[in-house]
Structure 1
Amino acid sequence: MIEREASGAAIHRWPIRVYYEDTDAGGIVYYANYLKFAERARTEMMRELGTSHSEMTRTEELSFAVARCEVDYLKSARLDDLLEVRTRVVEVGGATLDALQVIRRNEDDVARLKVRLACLNRDGRPKRIPAVVRAALARFQQSEKRVD
């Protein structure tokens, strides 16, 4: 769900339950699965903004791909934990989108991600983000560089 905080900043919140398939033999979330959780949350954020990835691919023949991702793993998530992925759009460039994502369990940050997405055509070449997508993101963008 997208909401405005008291500061006026927009944030998307997406709940994720940790399933057995997300964990290693010790019941701890396998590190790469945090990337999957963040991807799902970004996909749902775009859908809630009214511009889904599948629609952008179908109508514009464009898609987003992760160009850069920096992750800080802070605490371990475990089987059956209820997590929340909080996403903030930091900057929208001509063909890029920068987002900050925090995966939380209750009040604890579990992982923090800085993600840069590139808008690409079918040949994998950078293309400008479509105006309709840019307009949707502009309503959501905020200038703080911090995710709580």
Structure 2
Amino acid sequence: MTSEPAMEGRIDRDEQGRALHVFPVKVYWEDTDAGGIVYYANYLKFTERARTDLLRGLGINQQSLMMDEGVNFVVRDCRIEYLKPARMDDVLSVQTRLLDMKGATMRMEQGVYREDEVLVKSEVRVACIHRSGKPARFLPQIKDKFATVV
């Protein structure tokens, strides 16, 4: 029997009382480039890990969704702005907020922070697709789970 991976992040509330998922990230050597700063593409990996952790925290198992229901989440588009660099051994947090959820897509705002300093801002649109690759509406149980963080 396999157990569900533990959630590493936590769900907090921002100043406006909106749900905010906070995911910790420590910068390792492998995350940096020759200049000793985080390589730009690795921020996409950090934000992906945070979204996966948010799903775990909501009790959504992506492997089960694909195997049992035949649906999966994919990134439809992403906009990212790099403001300041992170370096080796920095302790960062990825903060994720669900902006809206429609029939088959959702938009999330994500920021990568070092303490209170914003390093990277991004907005991502995630789509739900059937294993055939065609769009699929979010299952009611998925919408219910996300309703807790809107």
Fold-level similarity (TM above 0.5) = yes
Give the % identical residues: 44
1:31 aligns with 2:40: yes
Letter in 2 for 1:40: R
Letter in 2 for 1:14: F
- Flag as ranges the 4+ runs of structure 1 deviating above 6 A: none
Letter in 2 for 1:105: R
1:7 deviates by 2.4
TM-score by length of 1: 0.92
Could you report, residue by residue, the CA deviation over 1:75-96 in whole angstroms, capped at 9, with x for unpaired residues?
Answer: 0011111000000001001000
Structure 2 distance, partners of 1:111, 1:78, is 13
- In structure 1, runs of 5+ residues without a counterpart are 142-148
Structure 2 distance, partners of 1:132, 1:96, is 15
Could you report, residue by residue, the CA deviation over 1:92-128 in whole angstroms, capped at 9, with x for unpaired residues?
Answer: 0100010000000011101011000010111111000
Letter in 1 for 2:133: G
1:7 is matched with which residue?
16
Structure 2 distance, partners of 1:89, 1:58, is 25
TM-score by length of 2: 0.91
1:44 deviates by 0.2
2:67 is matched with which residue?
58
Structure 2 distance, partners of 1:52, 1:2, is 17
70, 91, 99: which one aligns with 2:108: 99
1:128 is matched with which residue?
137
Structure 1 distance, partners of 2:90, 2:66, is 33
1:79 is matched with which residue?
88
- In structure 2, runs of 5+ residues without a counterpart are 1-9
Q: Give the SS at the match of 1:86.
A: strand
- Count of aligned pairs: 141
1:58 deviates by 2.1
What RMSD in Å do the two structures reach over aligned CA positions?
A: 0.9
Letter in 2 for 1:67: R
1:40 is matched with which residue?
49
1:119 aligns with 2:128: yes
Could you report, residue by residue, the CA deviation over 1:17-71 in whole angstroms, capped at 9, with x for unpaired residues?
Answer: 0111111011111100000000000000010011122222122111111101000
